[in-house]
């Protein structure tokens, strides 16, 4: 009887675990940066740095870059400057605020780590 109850509880726990959407379990941008999976770029965008990234990491890159692109476009229009300039200015601020361990892609293609 105890084994049956324990088995049911285990099955219920597993069902709840797998019912949680995968996105809710996905790591954040900061976690991926600290792990070296995602790198910041000199132009204000992020990229996959790891050779075997998860689909969740790729989704984070797409989402973050879309949000940043929209922000940079708005700022560029407000200041009447090229979008690329805005991205480079934001890249400097991002570098200051990024967590330790974050990799940064340099204009020459190399990386440096914070």
In angstroms, the CA 105 to CA 109 distance is 6
**pLDDT grade, residue 1 (50/70/90)?**
low
User: What beta strand segments (E) does the chain contain?
Assistant: 38-41, 46-48, 103-105, 111-113
Is 2 contained in some domain?
no
Residue 97 lies in domain? 27-113
Q: Does 17 map to a domain?
A: no
Q: Is residue 10 one of the residues assigned to a domain?
A: no
Is the pTM higher than 0.85? The answer reads no
Do 26 and 35 form a contact (C-beta atoms < 8 A)? Answer: no
Condensed to tens digits (0 to 9), the pLDDT of residues 55-114 reads 999 999 999 999 999 999 999 999 999 999 999 999 999 999 998 999 999 999 999 999
Q: Would 100 be classed as within a structural domain? A: yes
Total number of domains in the chain? 1
The answer to whether residue 16 sits within a structural domain is no
Query: What pLDDT sits at residue 2?
Result: 53
Q: How far apart are CA 54 and CA 76, in angstroms?
A: 33
Q: Which residue has the tokens 């709840």?
A: 16
Residue 11 belongs to some domain of the structure: no
């Amino acid at each position: 009887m105890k084994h049956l109850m324990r088995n049911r509880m285990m099955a219920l726990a597993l069902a709840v675990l797998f019912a949680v959407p995968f996105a809710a379990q996905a790591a954040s941008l900061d976690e991926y940066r600290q792990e070296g999976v995602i790198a910041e770029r000199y132009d204000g965008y992020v990229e996959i740095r790891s050779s075997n990234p998860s689909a969740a990491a790729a989704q984070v890159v797409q989402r973050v870059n879309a949000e940043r692109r929209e922000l940079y476009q708005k700022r560029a229009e407000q200041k009447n400057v090229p979008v690329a300039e805005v991205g480079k200015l934001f890249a400097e601020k991002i570098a200051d605020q990024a967590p330790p361990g974050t990799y940064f892609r340099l204009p020459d293609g190399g990386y440096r780590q914070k």
